[in-house]
Amino acid sequence: MVKALISRFLRADRQADRVVPPSGHTAWLTSFTAGAMTFLTVFALALSLAAGRMADRWSDALARTATVRISAPPEQLDLQTRVVLDVLTTTPGVESARALTDEEQRKLLEPWFGPDLPVEALPIPRLIELTEASEPYDAEGLRQRLSAEAPGAVLDDHTRWRRPLASAAGRLRLLGLVSIALIGGAMAAMITLAANAALAANAQVIEVLRLVGARDSYIARAFVRRFTLRAFGGAQVGALAGMIGIALLPSADAAGGFLTGLGFTGFGWLLPLCLPPLAATVAFLATRRAALAKLRELT
């Protein structure tokens, strides 16, 4: 059905297309606009997908681990650490638990206190990292057991870290999607302006066509087909350029940061290929609306 419609659009309207003279600046303006907007959309899409991946990665990594912080007098610290480890190893849903070494704690504090921090001389809490099994553990029950057996132990399941991170990543993803919508809207507006300019420049053509009995739909089709194909062609170039740009970004694996992770993975590379038909659809709807509105102004 859709294929038949597209085929009819491409073939049957060639005749209608001929009645409109070749226009100058609106032709390349439409192609350029569609190309530039699609190029930007590829990056917005990559941003959105990268934000989504980041949100999932952070959320997953933080969700599967938790930390028990033991704040106790120095003489009780080792005892409470052993008790906590015993409790954790007998807690269903906890896959493993281990106390961080002084070296690991020093590394965690290094960004704030420098590399020569004497961790062993400072009254800093002892940290125990636990990894969740495939079956989740009962956080509230574990808290109660810890408070009963090791009063200085506090379970931190990372919820307060996870929420803002997931929220930030989610908003970043939303921002990418909003950007795509705005780019689409801007493209529709620009193509509408170009279509209106073309319609105004071809007022005589429209007058002749109306005189000989052309329906509005026929006249509109002549313009719509032209703008749709131009937008499609421009968007193809823009999508290709955008994909090349993304492909040339440094690999995420090499640097590991967010910016270097801006790209497509797997089937994600197919998504930019959907943009040219989408741009053509936007151009089709924008031009058709503009053309019919303009024609309705005429007698």
Give the nearest distance from C-beta 283 to another protein in angstroms.
23
| Residue 299 engages another protein in binding (rule: CB under 8 A) | yes
| Residue 209 engages another protein in binding (rule: CB under 8 A) | yes
| Residue 207 engages another protein in binding (rule: CB under 8 A) | yes
| Residue 205 engages another protein in binding (rule: CB under 8 A) | yes
| Residue 211 engages another protein in binding (rule: CB under 8 A) | yes
Please report where in the chains the tokens 């961080």 appear, as a residue: 100
Nearest alpha carbon to residue 283 among 217, 202, 223, 197 = 223
Give the nearest distance from C-beta 216 to another protein in angstroms.
6
Q: Look up residue 22 and give its DSSP letter.
A: P
> Closest CB to another protein among 19 and 182?
19
| Residue 210 engages another protein in binding (rule: CB under 8 A) | yes
Considering only residues 215 to 254 of the shown chain, the ones binding another protein according to CB under 8 A are: 215-218
| Residue 15 engages another protein in binding (rule: CB under 8 A) | yes
Question: Which of 212, 248, 254, 270 is in the footprint of another protein by CB under 8 A?
Answer: 212
- What 16-22 contacts at long range (C-beta under 8 Å, 24+ apart), as own/partner pairs, is 16/218, 16/219, 16/221, 16/222, 16/225, 17/222, 17/225, 17/226, 18/222, 19/205, 19/209, 19/214, 19/222, 20/198, 20/202, 20/205, 20/222, 20/223, 20/226, 21/202, 21/205
Q: Which residues bind another protein (CB under 8 A)?
A: 15, 18-19, 21-22, 204-205, 207-218, 295-296, 299
